[in-house]
């Protein structure tokens, strides 16, 4: 798994990935039959951590992405990678990279990728989740929609993990903090379970 992680493109530092893995184990130990849901697969770097937990404990991960990239990964932006552009249509396409990652990590039986827009899938979703990990679009609108669409799917006692949460504006963008983390805590329904780097994990009461 480590060698797969090392060659997988993405935005999940090892210490935060390990924390995500631990939270996934905790969530599955209590709710093994309920899926882990990830918003924002990209090339699978965070999916592998979630999948490792599901593989060990006998759970399932559903990972959702339209695979066309976020604002900040488009051409001209800081996090753009020209290797993930489909030259035929001149759009990003990270799905082939995700498939390679899942195959190489031996997780094809454990992880179910969904190709689509997060709010559209959220509208159709009916199964409570043991853990929801939100790491999709980081603009105000996308972050707010992910909170609206997904936080209520976390089962009571389950976990809501949020990536790129920066309390201090100097450290990074605001929407995951202001549109997901704060509303979750202020709703009174979630309490802090773990914090590593920019990862925050909340437990639903």
Active site residues: 138
Does 110 interact with ligand SAH (rule: CB under 6 A)? no
- Nearer to Mg ion by C-beta: 95 or 135? 135
Helix intervals (H) in the chain: 2-7, 14-30, 45-57, 95-104, 118-124, 140-150, 175, 182-186
- Contact assessment for residue 161 and residue 130, using Cβ atoms and an 8 Å cutoff: no
Judged by beta carbon, residue 42 or residue 147, the one nearer ligand SAH is: 42
Neighbours of 82 (CB within 10 A): 8
In the complex, minimum distance from the CB of residue 24 to Mg ion, in angstroms, rounded to a whole number: 16
Q: Is residue 118 close enough to count as binding ligand SAH by CB under 6 A?
A: yes
Distance (Å, whole) CA 172 – CA 79: 13
**Does 67 contact ligand SAH by CB under 6 A?**
yes
On the 0-12 / 13-18 / 19+ scale of CB atoms within 10 A, 1 is middle
Applying CB under 5 A, does 11 fall inside the site for Mg ion?
yes
Nearest to 112 by CA among 36, 27, 53: 36
Identify which of residues 11 and 166 has a Cβ nearer to Mg ion in the complex. Answer: 11
Q: In angstroms, give the least distance from the CB of 5 to ligand SAH.
A: 10
If one asks whether residue 10 binds ligand SAH (CB under 6 A), the answer comes out as yes
Residue 65 engages ligand SAH in binding (rule: CB under 6 A) = yes
Interacting residues with Mg ion between 176 and 195 (CB under 5 A): none
Decide: is 31 part of the binding site for ligand SAH (CB under 6 A).
no
- Start-to-end Cα distance in the chain: 33
Q: What sign does the CA torsion over 117, 36, 136, 81 have?
A: negative
Residue whose C-beta lies closest to ligand SAH: 10
Quote the crossing angle between the two packed helices 95-104 and 45-57, to the nearest 10°: 40
Selection from ligand SAH, Mg ion, none that 136 binds (CB < 5 to 8 A by kind) is ligand SAH
User: Interface with Mg ion includes 135 (CB under 5 A)?
Assistant: yes
Question: Is 65 among the residues that bind Mg ion (CB under 5 A)?
Answer: no
Q: What is the DSSP pairing of strand 129-134 with strand 36-39?
A: parallel
- Which parts of this chain interact with ligand SAH (CB under 6 A)? 10-12, 40, 42, 45-46, 64-70, 94, 117-118, 135-137, 142
């Amino acid at each position: 798994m480590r060698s797969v992680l090392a060659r997988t493109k993405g935005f999940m530092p090892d210490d935060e990935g390990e924390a995500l893995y631990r939270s996934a184990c905790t969530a599955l130990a209590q709710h093994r039959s309920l899926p882990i849901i990830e918003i924002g697969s990209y090339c699978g770097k965070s999916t592998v951590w979630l999948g490792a937990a599901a593989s060990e404990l006998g759970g399932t991960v559903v990972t959702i992405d339209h695979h066309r990239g976020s604002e900040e990964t488009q051409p001209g932006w800081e996090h753009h990678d020209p290797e993930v552009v489909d030259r035929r249509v001149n759009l990003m396409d990270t799905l082939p990279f995700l498939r390679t990652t899942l195959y190489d990590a031996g997780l094809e039986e454990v992880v179910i990728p969904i190709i689509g827009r997060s709010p559209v899938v959220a509208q159709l979703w009916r199964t409570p989740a043991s853990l929801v990990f939100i790491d999709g679009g980081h603009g105000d609108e996308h972050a707010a929609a992910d909170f609206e669409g997904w936080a209520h799917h976390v089962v009571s006692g389950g976990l809501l993990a949020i990536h790129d949460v920066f309390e201090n504006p100097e450290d990074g963008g605001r929407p995951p903090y202001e549109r997901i983390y704060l509303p979750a805590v202020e709703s009174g329904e979630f309490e802090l379970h773990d914090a590593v780097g920019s990862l925050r994990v909340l437990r639903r009461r």
